[in-house]
């Protein structure tokens, strides 16, 4: 991980089917793994929301062995995230990766199968792909696409 501050290994309870904490958006820490409605989408530190992880001690224990995906994004590079479901294997990730890389403006992809989170790097010199285009790419690969967060967006 490229962060300079201590990082919690806990992940949001929504990753295991629980309901995301509504207060996450105002919490001091953001959850890189959150994908459920209401979860905070402005994730870069890869650190769980202290309110969410405290709600379920079992989630914290499991997450200790499943660290959140490290995110090493150059400063200022725009990224988008897509919450996806049904990507059950490495070949699945490759499938989604191929379709996303065909979108004009997408420069790289990073797929966390365990969290169902797809992160794509965007070319700042090109128009940002639409949320629909990103979702369609994931769907065409054979999976379910959920929330898309474009650069500068924060879920409430």
Partner 1 sequence: MTPAAAVVATAGAWVTPADAQQSTDMPAAVQPGLDVLIVREEAVFMRLDDPRLGGAGSVELYEFETTFAYGLTRDAAVMLHVPVMVHDIENPGAIASDQGVGLDDLQLMFQYRFYQEDVGPIETRRAVLLSGVEVPSYDDGFSSESFDPLLGLAYTRIDGRHGLNASALWKFNTGTGDDFELEFGDSRFDALRLDGSYLYRLVPEAYTADTLGSHYAQFQVLGRYETNGDWQVMLAPGWMYEGRRWAFEATVHLPVIQELDGRAELEWGLNLGVRYLF
CB of 107 to partner 1, least distance (A): 17
Choose which of 10, 12, 43, 99 interacts with partner 1 (CB under 8 A): 99
CB of 109 closer than 8 Å to CB of 118: yes
Taking residue 134's Cβ as centre, other Cβ atoms within 10 Å add up to 27
Binding residues among 3-32 for partner 1 as defined by CB under 8 A: 15, 17
91 binds partner 1 (CB under 8 A): yes
Among the residue ranges 1-9, 20-28, 61-69, 120-128, the one whose residues contact partner 1 (CB under 8 A): 61-69
CA angle 7-107-148, nearest 5°?
65
Whole-angstrom CA distances from 63 to 31, 79, 97, 113, 143 are 12, 25, 25, 15, 24
Choose which of 44, 94, 151, 154 interacts with partner 1 (CB under 8 A): 94
d(CA 59, CA 26): 21
Diameter over CA atoms, the chain: 44
121 binds partner 1 (CB under 8 A): no
CB of 26 to partner 1, least distance (A): 26
Q: Which residues bind partner 1 (CB under 8 A)?
A: 15, 17, 35, 65-67, 69-70, 84-99, 110-117, 139-144
């Amino acid at each position: 991980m490229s962060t300079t501050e201590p990082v919690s290994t806990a992940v949001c309870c929504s990753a295991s089917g629980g309901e995301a904490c509504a207060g996450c958006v105002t919490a001091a820490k953001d959850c890189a793994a959150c994908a459920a409605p209401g979860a905070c989408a402005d994730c870069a530190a890869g650190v769980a929301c202290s309110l969410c992880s405290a709600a379920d001690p079992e989630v914290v224990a499991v997450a200790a062995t499943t660290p959140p995906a490290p995110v090493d994004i150059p400063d200022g590079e725009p990224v988008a995230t897509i919450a996806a479901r049904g990507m059950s294997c490495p070949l699945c990730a490759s499938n989604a990766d191929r379709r996303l890389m065909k979108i004009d403006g997408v420069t790289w992809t990073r797929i966390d199968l365990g969290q169902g989170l797809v992160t794509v790097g965007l070319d700042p010199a090109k128009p940002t792909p639409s949320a629909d285009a990103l979702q369609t790419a994931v769907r065409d690969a054979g999976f379910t696409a959920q929330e898309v967060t474009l650069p500068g967006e924060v879920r409430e």
